[in-house]
Amino acid sequence: MNAIRVAVIGAQGRMGAQAVDAITEAEGLELVATLGSSDSLESLLEKNVDVAVELTVPASTETNVAFLVDHDIDTVVGTTGWDADKLSGLKELLAEHSDTAVLIAPNFSIGAVLAMRFAELAAPYFDSAEVVEIHHPRKLDAPSGTANYTAQRIAAARNDAGLAPVPDATEIDPHGARGAVVDGIHVHAIRQQGMTASEEIHFGSSGEALTIRTDSHSTSAFMPGIVTAVRSISDYTGLVHGLENMLDL
Ligand SMILES: NC(=O)C1=CN([C@@H]2O[C@H](COP(=O)(O)OP(=O)(O)OC[C@H]3O[C@@H](n4cnc5c(N)ncnc54)[C@H](OP(=O)(O)O)[C@@H]3O)[C@@H](O)[C@H]2O)C=CC1
Ligand SMILES: O=C(O)C1=N[C@H](C(=O)O)C[C@H](O)C1
């Protein structure tokens, strides 16, 4: 069988550089292009790329992915910033490219993917739910893509179960101490030197609490998920939101 020809966009970044190594080492994958912010995407077109891995910055990812879809290149995206409007625009674009797939993966770590699934399962059983994320201080966006997605999934599970809004008597909060609110779920972001990525999901009901925590100590945590996605994406078409959809979770 022919190797899958892979390009990495954002190849000099923290994630991109590690993805270059992971793809180079992975059986059945061939790294055929590495692009940084000063390289033209057009240079990919002569490389016969099967799958692009997009690991750049929130300000660039939508334009990069649109170019890749326009050229029918399956794409695995780890970059954050994919809000509802951007996802819906991407879905529309993909509808015009029926053989092409894009995975938008808020998190590639198996621990984080499982933590989000566990949170979704727990959500209907608790009155209170809040998300706390901790990341390195170089991170451009807050709250993290993972925290956003976790809150959205908790909110959807609560909504399906017919739960009332989370109880909260706060009337006075001049400094925003209650954090961001994503679909009714409070989300708190900490930036901490020495940290890679961590998330805690706090649930509570009368007399009991459940805390789910996932830690990524190094960017190596994200590499098996990227390799799995690159190997699997040709089995899909359209928008795949979340690595869990490629893991049967
Ligand atoms: N889904 C997941 O599991 C994970 C997602 N992430 C997300 O991935 C993204 C990247 O993270 P990280 O590697 O830490 O960030 P870095 O800042 O280390 O790297 C980003 C890289 O993208 C490059 N870049 C910027 N714009 C372009 C462009 N238009 N074309 C090509 N390259 C470009 C930058 O180059 P230059 O410096 O020259 O501007 C830089 O090398 C973030 O959004 C982060 O949140 C991170 C970890 C895990
Ligand atoms: O910027 C990071 O580092 C990370 N970004 C992603 C996010 O915003 O959720 C995934 C992971 O948390 C690391």
- Counting DSSP H helices and E strands in the chain, the numbers are 6, 11
Model pLDDT, residue 234: 98
Model pLDDT, residue 249: 82
Residue numbers belonging to the annotated binding site for NAD(+): 10-15, 78-80, 105-108
Report strand pairing: 101-104 vs 238-241: parallel
Residue 80's SS3 state is coil
Ligand found nearest the CA of 55: 1
Residue numbers belonging to the annotated binding site for (S)-2,3,4,5-tetrahydrodipicolinate: 136, 145-146
Residue 47 a catalytic site member: no
Q: What is the pTM of this model?
A: 0.97
For 98, list phi and psi in degrees, rounded to 5.
Answer: -70, -15
Ranges under pLDDT 70 in the chain = none
CA 184 to chain centre: 20
Model pLDDT, residue 1: 79
- What distance in Å separates the CA atoms of residue 7 and residue 54, rounded to the nearest whole number? 9
Write out pLDDT tens, residues 227-246.
999 999 999 999 999 999 99
- What distance in Å separates the CA atoms of residue 56 and residue 115, rounded to the nearest whole number? 25
Model pLDDT, residue 101: 98
Calculate how far, in angstroms, residue 172's C-alpha sits from the geometric centre of ligand 2.
31
- What distance in Å separates the CA atoms of residue 244 and residue 111, rounded to the nearest whole number? 11
* Residue 216 DSSP symbol: E
